[in-house]
Amino acid sequence: MAKVMVYPPTSMILADLVERMGHEALVISKEVRKKVTTPGLDSPPLNMTAEDPKKGLKYAAVDVPSGVRGRMSLLGPMIEEANAAIVIKDNACTLGCTGCARTNELTRLLLRTKRIPLLELDYPKDEGEAKRFVHEIHQFLEELE
Amino acid sequence: MIRIAQLSCGPEYSGVQKELETAAEMVGAKLIFPEVSLEDIKNVEESFGVEVASGDLNLAMARATRIVENPDLADAVFVATCFRCAEGAIVRSEIRKFIHENSAIPVLSYSFTERTTADTLLTRMEALVTTAKYKGLLSRERQTGLTAGIDSGSTTTKSVIMRDNEVIGTGWVPTTEVLKSAEEAYDAALKEAGVKKEEIEGLGTTGYGRHLVGKHFGAKLIQEEITVNSKGAVFLADAQKGPATVIDIGGMDNKAISVQDGIPGTFTMGGICAGASGRFLELSAKRLGVDITELGKLALKGDHTKVPMNSYCIVFGTQSLVNSLSAGSKPEDVAMAACHSVAEQVFEQQLQEVEVKEPVIMVGGTSLIEGLPRAMEQLLGIDVIVPHHSQFIGCVGASLLVSGLVED
């Protein structure tokens, strides 16, 4: 079983496909859930604190905006944990965890340069493309150990 | 409850959302998030004029469009993006302009870091709420009766006594112990006016020490400096109708306020880098061996282009100053370069964030350092007004506004 990071990291469709093939999907909702349900933090409901952008310094320098570093404190450990990734290009409008273009660029770059099995696909525009999309993901996941 | 619409990108992930909410609560306001549909976000290119790569910024623009279309949704707007984000800075500035041009809703724009605290935001939020809440009081143009104002600033404490729209007494002392300095300034103003404390019908306080001083003297009005200074500036400059821009370079922070009919529309308050503060001019005067009151006159005789000096940092600025004196620069050139350096920092860091509309009124103690308004005139390419009693604008504004409360 592989740990497969999906991009956008909020994609439930991709997560579902990964889980159906017996792998573990790395999605940001799991990280956010940890933040929301861990007691003792003081900024509900998301419970991000000023300490989180500091954790993000591992992935982006201090002169990178705090919002990028805060998001990277969630995404960075997921990228480190991943041993495969599926990246969807030209995906639709994204907000919240994926609402910052600079964070998204850095995430894609770190996934591409990690030298792990990587599948990059365009966002499907019609039914035919959607079928090919699912088929390619299926094939990629099947080949993973 | 004042509703402040938050249009932002990044505060939740910077860990400062709680700080924004706390600052709003402290001034009796609530942050709200106008609802928009996915279609609204997808259409920002058409409705707002641009679509950017970051979804959260598109969401902020969609919300701004919704507020302009439905002004009843919010009483004020707070636009915030991450410090150092170019895309965020562009969108933040465009949202501010968009709301300013298409509605009468006051806007505050701010760039935060993970170190932003509720206390940092307090004065700004207070000003935003005052502007939204007390439009009637702020539109007051005449002072009536016998009232007083105390401005407890970081460097100096000022006081005025006003009677029937005239300043009849002033007091100005360096701030040491906040209450002691306030007593001294107030006593001096009362003495000059020839009136007793008991005769004063209403007192207003402003500045950093406003709460402590206001409580001590039982002030009827305790108000942040943005709204009060705007009022004082347009009153003293006789520019109460129409647009105006107020620039107040203080000892610890600077304010640039875009005013319409005496009421602040948009404003910025900077205070991170001391190179843009009055403190740097104080230090320059000391190094040049002249009194601060003489620095301006000395500067007017100088040529700033002969001395390279432009620093946001007081330490680097002082280095430039020492180096140029060591290299044989004339004191008057160095004095003018110091004035230019401060003016340029304010121009670069703050005046880009407000609409600069004439008349431009410079106020506060630093406006009396003649080289500084001259440097600002050269940078802006327009005349700058320094009204009589410009160092007393805070207390004049407080005295004028409190007379409205006395009448009520």
What's the pLDDT tens digit per position in B349-383?
777 777 788 999 999 889 999 999 999 999 999 99
Residue appearing with tokens 């402590």: B212
Cis-peptide, bond into residue B373, ω within 30° of zero: no
Q: Which residue has the higher pLDDT, B344 or A126?
A: A126
Fold of A3-143: Rossmann fold (3.40.50)
Which pair of tokens denotes residue B190?
A: 């009362």
pLDDT at B250: 81
B15/A53 touch (CB, cutoff 8 Å), yes or no: yes
Mean pLDDT of B46-74: 96
Q: Are B50 and B56 in contact (CB under 8 A)?
A: no
Rounded-to-integer distance, Cα B255 and Cα A137, Å:
56
Residues of B with CB under 8 A from a CB of A: 9-18, 38, 41-42, 52-59, 81-85, 87-88, 112-115
Q: Report CA-CA distances (Å) from A105 to A4, A102, A123.
A: 19, 5, 17
Mean pLDDT of B224-235: 92
Output DSSP code: residue B197: G
Domains in chain A: boundaries = 3-143
Q: Map residue B380 onto helix, strand or coil.
A: helix
Residue of chain B nearest A44, judged by CA positions: B18
Question: Does the CA dihedral A51-A52-A58-A63 come out positive or negative?
Answer: negative
Contacts of A97 in chain B (CB under 8 A): 13
pLDDT at B189: 97
Q: Are B233 and B246 in contact (CB under 8 A)?
A: yes
pLDDT tens-digit map of B12-53? 999 999 999 999 999 999 999 999 999 999 999 999 999 999
Domain B146-226+393-407: CATH architecture, name and number where available: 2-Layer Sandwich (3.30)
Q: Report CA-CA distances (Å) from B211 to A66, A84, B152, B162.
A: 33, 59, 9, 21
Residue appearing with tokens 């707070």: B78
- In this structure, of A10-24, B69-83, B211-225, B310-324, the range with the lowest mean pLDDT score is B310-324
Rounded-to-integer distance, Cα B123 and Cα B226, Å:
8
pLDDT at B138: 86
Contacts of A53 in chain B (CB under 8 A): 13-15, 114
Residues of A with CB under 8 A from a CB of B: 42-44, 46, 48-54, 63-71, 74, 93-102
pLDDT at A27: 93
Query: How many A-B residue pairs are in contact by the CB < 8 A criterion?
Result: 103
pLDDT at B271: 59
CB nearest to A66's CB, from B14, B41, B54: B14
Domains in chain B: boundaries = 2-133, 146-226+393-407
**Which of B7, B13, B18 has the highest number of chain A CBs within 10 A, making it the mutation to test binding with A?**
B13
Confidence band for B323, pLDDT divided at 50, 70 and 90: confident
pLDDT tens-digit map of B161-218? 999 999 999 999 999 999 999 999 999 999 999 999 999 999 999 998 999 999 999 9
pLDDT at B274: 65
B13/A51 touch (CB, cutoff 8 Å), yes or no: no
pTM of the model: 0.81
Question: Does the CA dihedral B278-B283-B288-B294 come out positive or negative?
Answer: positive
Rounded-to-integer distance, Cα B255 and Cα B269, Å:
5
Q: b or e along B240-270 (b: 16 or more beta carbons within 10 Å of the residue's beta carbon)? A: beeebbbbbbbbebbbbbbbbbbbbbbbbbb
Tell me the three-class secondary structure of B21-70, residue by residue: HHHHHHCCEEEECCCCCHHHHHCHHHHCCCCCCCHHHHHHHHHHHHHHHC
Return mean pLDDT, chain B. 90
Contacts of B82 in chain A (CB under 8 A): 65-68
User: CB count, 10 Å around CB of B370?
Assistant: 16
Question: Does the CA dihedral B300-B303-B304-B307 come out positive or negative?
Answer: negative
As beta bridge partners, residue B257 has: B246, B267
Tell me the three-class secondary structure of A28-89, residue by residue: HHHHHHHHHHCCCCCCCCCCCCCHHHHHHHHCCCCCCCHHHHHHHHHHHHHHHHCCEEEEEE
Check pLDDT > 60 for residue B272. no
Residue of chain A nearest B59, judged by CA positions: A95
Looking at the domain covering B2-133, what would its CATH class be? alpha beta
Walking along chain A (145 residues) 10 residues at a time, the average pLDDT comes out as 94 94 93 80 78 94 95 96 94 84 96 96 94 96 90
Q: Are B148 and B196 in contact (CB under 8 A)?
A: no
Show Cβ contacts of residue B136 under 8 Å, excluding neighbours closer than 6 positions. none
pLDDT at A57: 95
As beta bridge partners, residue B8 has: B80
Residue appearing with tokens 């950093």: B208
Contacts of B17 in chain A (CB under 8 A): 43, 46, 48
Check pLDDT > 60 for residue B384. yes
Rounded-to-integer distance, Cα A23 and Cα B339, Å:
66
**Which of B52, B114, B115 has the highest number of chain A CBs within 10 A, making it the mutation to test binding with A?**
B114
Question: What is the percentage of chain B residues whose pLDDT exceeds 70?
Answer: 97
pLDDT at A42: 67
State which amino acid sits at residue B97.
K
Half-sphere exposure of A119 (CA within 13 A, CB side): 21
Rounded-to-integer distance, Cα A30 and Cα B337, Å:
56
pLDDT at A41: 64
**Which of B8, B9, B14, B17 has the highest number of chain A CBs within 10 A, making it the mutation to test binding with A?**
B14
Check pLDDT > 70 for residue B76. yes
Q: Report CA-CA distances (Å) from B15 to A35, A59, B225.
A: 12, 17, 28
Confidence band for B275, pLDDT divided at 50, 70 and 90: low
User: CB count, 10 Å around CB of A110?
Assistant: 19
Rounded to the nearest 5 degrees, what angle is found at the Cα of B222, between the Cα atoms of B221 and B228? 90
Q: Report CA-CA distances (Å) from A135 to A16, A57, A142, B139.
A: 14, 38, 10, 68
